[in-house]
Amino acid sequence: MKNYFSSNFKLGVLGGGQLGKMLLTETQKFDIYTSILDAAKDAPCAQICNEFHVGNLLDFNTVYNFGKKVDLLTIEIEHVNIEALLKLEQEGLEIYPQPNVLQIIQHKGKQKDFFVSHNIPTSPHKRFNNLQALKKETLKYPFVWKSAQFGYDGTGVKIVKTKNDLEVLTDTECIIEELIPFKNELAVIVARNKNGEIKTYPVVEMEFHPEANQVEYVICPARISDDVALKARNIALKVAESFQHIGLLAVEMFQTADDQILVNEVAPRTHNSGHYSIEASYTSQFEQHLRSILNLPLGNTDSKVAGIMVNLVGEEGFSGDVVYENMEEILKMDGVTPHIYGKKQTRPFRKMGHVTVVNNNLAEARKIAEIVKNTIRVISK
């Protein structure tokens, strides 16, 4: 086995946002040297990695030249230049998740086609090259519109209820999906290493903000029957095996009214739905990501305790230098741990941090999470 620890091995990470910042906690724990590339000079990772490089993740030369200087490359965001990664891989660099997996997943149309071709249950969809092509179609309202690429955190996703709603859509390559009436939105994180060892985390339940289309709470374990949980974990395993990916894969799903599980979409990296694991699990998703890409034995994915994650997002009506109001109040509460991502500027609905609530009693944790949500405010000076 390679010596990754306290050695001259260099791990490269494309992206220096909050997911990278939380990954760095684990690389520091293991004393693994990290080099990070991000477009923003004040990205959350900038001050705490071993090497920080400023550059465009979608630029071929920037990504290629960065990759030439590291021993293994991973990502914390999937919007990266795939051609550069394919060339680096051809030249012998280990890249996880693999470029061919990223190429499918970063394009929502290809991702949905992949589910269909691998018999993975998902909602019916159609692909369009632009808005004009979509407008020519005989449409059945309501439906879900998604930009084929570069959507995130509710950006690039709209529920289209009437013909008038078409006028506010971006003119870009897109997909439309049947709107699924569902009981719950669920997610399962799957870890897989090069040896083919594979593990799933428990099923989590996601509660969304009605307007921002952003997760407000992630609840682990999900409040569902054992049968539904088993079905969700098995489908997530099937997705991971179909991609043969190495690293973490977050599989987001719908539980329908009749308890069918449909895959909504996947993310080939650590994910918001796994943040609870830092405090609540034996092995956090960030440590597990490291274990999987370095082909180390995978850690225990069980929870030690029930966990609820509350997203901290910029409050409406505030933009500018961030202020976290009432932080002392939430720090007085038992089992409450805030994580501040290090973004200096806030704006409405921007993800600025999260708070984990752990408790032996899930219902009690949910009550405390509500109090946390109503107490802390992310505003500006």
8-33: pLDDT as tens digits: 999 999 999 999 999 999 999 999 99
Residue 118 clears pLDDT 70, i.e. is over it: yes
Whether 173 and 237 map to the same domain: the answer is no
Dihedral angle sign, alpha carbons of residues 315, 220, 78, 341: positive
**Inside any domain, residue 102:** no
Q: Given pLDDT bands bounded at 50, 70 and 90, which one contains residue 155?
A: confident
Contact indicator for 253, 261 with CB cutoff of 8 Å: yes
Dist. CA 71–CA 96, nearest whole Å: 12
Would you state the structure tokens that stand for residue 87, as one six-digit string?
């060339």
Dist. CA 257–CA 63, nearest whole Å: 45
Looking up residue 156, the CATH number of its domain turns out to be: 3.30.1490.20
Query: 150, 178, 206 — which closes off a domain?
Result: 178
Residue 179 annotated in ligand binding: yes
Residue 264 annotated in ligand binding: yes
Phi-psi label, residue 110: left if phi above 0, alpha if psi -120 to 50, beta otherwise: alpha
Whether 359 and 308 map to the same domain: the answer is yes
Q: Provide mean pLDDT across the span 122-129.
A: 96
Whether 342 and 375 map to the same domain: the answer is yes
Residue 178 annotated in ligand binding: yes
**Inside any domain, residue 4:** no
Residue 107 clears pLDDT 80, i.e. is over it: yes
Query: Domain residues for 147?
Result: 124-178
Structure confidence at residue 106 (pLDDT) = 95
Cα dihedral 272, 278, 280, 284 in deg (nearest 10): 90
Residue 213 clears pLDDT 80, i.e. is over it: no
3-class DSSP string for 211-256:
CCCCEEEEEECCCCCHHHHHHHHHHHHHHHHHHCCCEEEEEEEEEE
Q: Given pLDDT bands bounded at 50, 70 and 90, which one contains residue 34?
A: very high
Residue 210 clears pLDDT 80, i.e. is over it: no
Residue 212 clears pLDDT 80, i.e. is over it: no
Q: Given pLDDT bands bounded at 50, 70 and 90, which one contains residue 153?
A: low
**Inside any domain, residue 307:** yes
**Inside any domain, residue 110:** no
Whether 169 and 192 map to the same domain: the answer is no
pLDDT in tens, 237-286: 999 999 999 999 999 999 999 999 999 999 999 999 999 999 999 999 99
pLDDT in tens, 42-73: 999 999 999 999 999 999 999 999 999 999 99
Which uninterrupted H or E stretch holds 208? strand 204-208
Q: Provide mean pLDDT across the span 147-160.
A: 82
The torsion angles phi and psi of 169, rounded to 5 degrees, stand at -75, 150
Whether 233 and 215 map to the same domain: the answer is yes
pLDDT in tens, 359-371: 999 999 999 999 9
Looking up residue 23, the CATH number of its domain turns out to be: 3.40.50.20
Pairing of strands 204-208, 182-192: antiparallel
Would you state the structure tokens that stand for residue 130, as one six-digit string?
């632009």
Looking up residue 266, the CATH number of its domain turns out to be: 3.30.470.20
Dist. CA 108–CA 378, nearest whole Å: 32
Identify the three-state secondary structure at position 205.
strand
Would you state the structure tokens that stand for residue 136, as one six-digit string?
């020519």
Dist. CA 296–CA 199, nearest whole Å: 13
Residue 185 annotated in ligand binding: yes
Whether 172 and 259 map to the same domain: the answer is no
Query: 95, 112, 142 — which closes off a domain?
Result: 95
**Inside any domain, residue 149:** yes
Contact indicator for 286, 28 with CB cutoff of 8 Å: no
Would you state the structure tokens that stand for residue 121, as one six-digit string?
């249950």
This prediction's pTM: 0.95
Average pLDDT, the chain: 96
Dist. CA 205–CA 186, nearest whole Å: 5
Whether 258 and 370 map to the same domain: the answer is yes
Q: Which of 75-79, 154-158, 166-170 has the lowest mean pLDDT?
A: 154-158
Residue 265 annotated in ligand binding: yes
Q: Provide mean pLDDT across the span 283-296.
A: 98
**Inside any domain, residue 174:** yes
Whether 32 and 167 map to the same domain: the answer is no
Whether 192 and 50 map to the same domain: the answer is no
Query: 139, 158, 178 — which closes off a domain?
Result: 178
Q: Going by C-beta distance under 8 Å and a sequence separation of 6 or more, which residues neighbour residue 141? A: 160, 161, 162, 163
Dist. CA 136–CA 143, nearest whole Å: 15
Whether 166 and 241 map to the same domain: the answer is no
Contact indicator for 266, 102 with CB cutoff of 8 Å: no
Q: Going by C-beta distance under 8 Å and a sequence separation of 6 or more, which residues neighbour residue 151? A: 108, 157
Closest CA to 230 of 256, 259, 193: 259
Q: Which of 165-169, 212-216, 346-350 has the lowest mean pLDDT?
A: 212-216
pLDDT in tens, 315-340: 999 999 999 999 999 999 999 999 99
Query: What is the percent of the chain with per-residue pLDDT over 70, rounded to a whole number?
Result: 98
Whether 173 and 187 map to the same domain: the answer is no
Which residue type does 132 have? Q
Give, in degrees to the nearest 5, the angle at Cα 179 between 174 and 185: 105
Task: Look at the chain and report how many structural domains it folds into.
Answer: 3
Residue 343 annotated in ligand binding: no
CB neighbour burial string for 308-333, b if at least 16 within 10 angstroms, e if fewer: bbbbbbbbeebeeebebeeeeebeee
Closest CA to 14 of 28, 43, 30, 244: 43
Closest CA to 34 of 205, 267, 290: 290
Higher model confidence: residue 209 or residue 121?
Answer: 121
**Inside any domain, residue 160:** yes
Residue 294 annotated in ligand binding: no
Residue 154 clears pLDDT 70, i.e. is over it: no
Would you state the structure tokens that stand for residue 68, as one six-digit string?
């030439």
Contact indicator for 190, 248 with CB cutoff of 8 Å: yes
**Inside any domain, residue 58:** yes
Whether 58 and 151 map to the same domain: the answer is no
Residue for token pair 């060892």: 197
